[in-house]
Structure formats: C-alpha cells, structure tokens
Structure 1
C-alpha cells in the first residue's frame, strides 16, 4: 500500500500520503459490525450463512461483534451510487445510445427501481443533478465517519452470488439466480455501492466454500484511509477461516 497510495504527477510537489497504522492488531480488542441482510440487496443464502459463521468465529476468538445497520438505508446509498457511477461509465458513449437513454429515462415510472431503470437514470443524469448527488455522497461520508467511532470495521457481502457460469449474451439480457429468483446481471455488484460512494477502503477475504464447492469471500470495510486496518482484519479472518481453499475438481 505504501507504493499504491502515493501522489501522482505534479501533485508530488506539495502532497504526501502516510496511511495510518492498523487501528487494532489484537483480535480481543477488535470491534466488528456485521451488516444485516438487506431485502433490496438480496444475497445467496449460503453466502449469508458463511458470513454468520465468520462472525461467530470472531466472537469466539474474543472480538466484540454486533449485527448493526449503518446510519442510512441501503436504498438511499444505492440511489446515490447509481447516479454517480453510471454517468462516468457512459462518458464517451455514442450519441445515438445516449439519446436513447435520455428518451427512456423520460418514460420511467418513479417506482421502477430495477437495475436497468437505475442505470438509465444515471446515464441520462444532468450535470446539475450530478452535483446534487455528489453533495448527498458527502452526507453519507459523514455518517460513516460517525459510525466508525464505535466500530473498527464492518463486514458485508462482496457479491450477491458465488461464481456463476460465463454468459456472453448482450449485457442487458443477462440474468443471475439469487435464491431461486431471477435478477438482472448488475445485481452482482450491488454491494460495491456503499463502499465506493463514500470512498472507503475494503478488503476481500475468503471465508469458505458453498455446498457445491464454490469459494466465497466477504469484504472488510473500514474508515476512510484506514486501508491497513482492513488488511489486518482480513488477515485475522483468513487465519480463523483457513484462507483460500482450492475448490474440488478445480485445476
């Protein structure tokens, strides 16, 4: 991280970065929040079970562990995330595609919260609305700052499902299966939103295999610029859970 976290180009003239040391290195002094299950960000049941098992392992090892929601709703932060990330992802798109998105956005019902609808709204977002949502982002960052006064890290899913078969259909036509329900492909990355929106560090670490032998990770989310705390806690979890295990029949 000392190599990655550094000023670039002309910023080197005046800027320097020194990441703080891990907040905790003793597991018995560790304070962990576990994000509760979210209806609007549904995750495979086996992933939830493995996260729960990991929380119990941490508790047994002496850590203070609580299941607690952050001081905002998932829908709130997901709305901000969608309206900030999709204008960036669509920048430089061809005019015809962007014009189509603008037309579709005008016809969307406000109650439509499908992944496709959120993307369409984001792609067609006006600059002034982007500024408003960026301000909303800073309110979320302040709420996280207050939250982490009581916890060292928060644990949450990384992805909604374990590894799935490659699908080379057009992106808009792809779907995934979550607990028997068909979800749009973009649902796979929904848990990135709360972290990316607030510019928080997060470290992905293995916690076991599903009943079908697929590897599962969780993410260790930390306070702003506390990357080394996330990495340290991820190491603790790795040691408790046995680290990465090669799936059966995987070559």
Structure 2
C-alpha cells in the first residue's frame, strides 16, 4: 500500500523507527496525508513561518521572494512534542529578512484538554469519508467529549466547502501553469472551453485563463481566510479528516484522472484526496495531523487539527493532549 506523498518515504521511515524527524513540504497534503497513512504526526505550518529557500520547485538558485501563495515546509515526527521542537528550530524569517524580523512561536491557547473550544466536521456530501475511517474519527471525538472538551459540530459560519475547494483547485493548478510548453497552450485553451466539472477541465481553465481570473481567485482566498479567522475568535481549533480513505493499494493507471481508490462503499476518484486538506492550505492556516487509531483492517488513521493563523502551537498541543486520551503513535508490527 502507498505511504502517501510526497513525503511518503519520510513518513514510512518514521513509522519504521529509522529516524525521529523528517522535513517535508505541503501544497496538496504532502505532509499531512503521509502522516495519516503511516500513523505518525505531521504539521503544515502557517504560511510563511518556515522559509522555503532551497525547496524544489522552484529550480535551484532561484532568488527567494515573498512567501508562496499555497506551499509551506514543515516537520513530521512520532510525537507532537517533537513537532513543536522541530518548528522552534525551522521557523523564522529567511536569512535575507532576518536583520529586520524576529519570530517566536505564540503559546498554545490551552494548558489542558478541557480548556479548548473545538469545532469539528467528520463528513461532507462533497467528499464522503469511508465508513472504516469515519468510525475511527467518531471514537476520537467521543474521547474528547469524555475529556471535557467543549465541542461544536458543523462548518464555521460562512464556509461553503465546495466553493472554497474550487478556489483551492484553481490556485493550485495556477501554480503549475509554468510547466506548459508553448505548443500545449492552445490545446489547453480548447480543453478549457468545455467546463464539464471534471478536474481536467478545471485544470485547463486555471492554466490558460486571463490574469484577472487569478486575481479574483486570490480575492476569494483572502475572504475565506477572514471567515476562518473570525471563527477562531470564539474557537481554538477545528477538527476534520485528513483524507477520506486509509492507505490504499497502488493504482498504476498512467493518467491520474483515471485512477480509482477502493473503499467499503465502492470506488472513488483518486483526486478526491485533495478535498479535506484544501481548507487549511487555501487559507494558510496551521494544521496538524495526529494518529488516532486503526481501521478494522489495521490501517492507521489520522485526524487533522486546524488552528488559528500564526498560532501553530495550539493545534500541535491539541494533538499531544489527544494522544493522552486516545493513544498516539503505535509502532507497526515488526518494528
């Protein structure tokens, strides 16, 4: 089965005990999804907290610029405490900004589990969570309830999941428009004319639309960020799935759009994996994936803990305290 990607090798090495810390980057869940599949911890920091100098892409030697719109770099580990320690080292301004800027990690909002006001959503019609994964999520919520956490179910007021997901997909695909060769542009423009709701059609539009479309999408992103920040005035964290499925057997179909994933409820599109990770990426919010148990087939399941902007210690702290009531990292059999 796949360990996820793109930090799948790092997550598998952590689970196997070959290392205690791994760096990764995340634009489409590349820290959070491997952590979920492999039963370890992963943290997608607030946008801009960890410098991206040296990250590929862009090509080596590219001068640093402002923080990228979506991608971030962050740590994976076998405990929440290690995530925090790693972030304390990794975080801070790029070396060119360091003479004028300092960074310190704000403290977590709580000192015990019962201090936290946590919202959650475990399923959505736009991307149904498989029953085996959903059962593990439900047990975690019940453990939090028993621990005295103030829980509130439902999306934040003003969040329209399908709309925020579409904005994320547009911006995600825009990031990779530079990969198009000149001879491919006209072909993509023709494909973009048929907006049938498919990922391929949305990708073609993002690759070829006028810049004003990108500007409008960036504006929707800012509006989404404001909605989430308003929510975090009265809440400390928000829990949601990392992915709708546990680790799955490889599908070697050459085209991503054709790949299907098996679930107890039937086959699903491969690209549905982008849905649940999209909200924290779109808004630049910190998000920690924490292991919370195994499916009935013995596969790891993680839950995603989104926190307030720049308050990365809060979702990491919730992850650590969740381990106290439901268990944290468990080494796989044979390791």
* TM more than 0.5: yes
Report the CA distance shift for 1:62/1:86 in structure 2 as closer, same or farther (over 3 A): same
Cα RMSD over matched residues? Answer: 1.8
Q: Which string of whole-angstrom CA distances, capped at 9 and with x for unpartnered residues, describes residues 177-233 of structure 1?
A: 344333321111211111100000000100110111100001110011111111100
Q: 2: CA distance between counterparts of 1:223 and 1:154?
A: 9
Counterpart residue number, 1:84: 171
5+ long unaligned stretches in structure 2:
1-86
Contact 1:206 1:241 in 2 (8 A): no
Whether 2:284 is the aligned partner of 1:199: answer yes
How far did 1:119 drift? 2.8
Q: 2: CA distance between counterparts of 1:216 and 1:119?
A: 30
Whether 2:162 is the aligned partner of 1:75: answer yes
Whether 2:195 is the aligned partner of 1:108: answer yes
Whether 2:97 is the aligned partner of 1:21: answer no
After TM superposition, the structure 1 = structure 2 runs for residues 2-151 of structure 1, keeping only pairs within 5 Å, are 2-71=88-157, 72-109=159-196, 112=197, 114-151=198-235
Q: 1: CA distance between counterparts of 2:185 and 2:106?
A: 43
5+ long unaligned stretches in structure 1:
none
Q: 2: CA distance between counterparts of 1:183 and 1:96?
A: 33
Q: Give the alignment partner of residue 236 of structure 1, picking from 314, 318, 321.
A: 321
Contact 1:115 1:187 in 2 (8 A): no
How far did 1:247 drift? 4.4
Counterpart residue number, 1:210: 295
Aligned residues: 247
Normalised by the length of structure 2, the TM-score is 0.69
Contact 1:22 1:229 in 2 (8 A): yes
Contact 1:209 1:247 in 2 (8 A): no
Q: Which string of whole-angstrom CA distances, capped at 9 and with x for unpartnered residues, describes residues 134-168 of structure 1?
A: 01111111100111112110000001210001223
Contact 1:209 1:216 in 2 (8 A): yes
Counterpart residue number, 2:44: none
Contact 1:160 1:189 in 2 (8 A): no
Contact 2:136 2:293 in 1 (8 A): yes
Contact 1:155 1:218 in 2 (8 A): yes
Q: 1: CA distance between counterparts of 2:184 and 2:286?
A: 33
Report the CA distance shift for 1:168/1:95 in structure 2 as closer, same or farther (over 3 A): farther
How far did 1:55 drift? 1.0
Normalised by the length of structure 1, the TM-score is 0.91
Report the CA distance shift for 1:215/1:98 in structure 2 as closer, same or farther (over 3 A): farther
Contact 2:122 2:134 in 1 (8 A): no
Q: 2: CA distance between counterparts of 1:231 and 1:128?
A: 37
SS in 2 for 1:59: helix
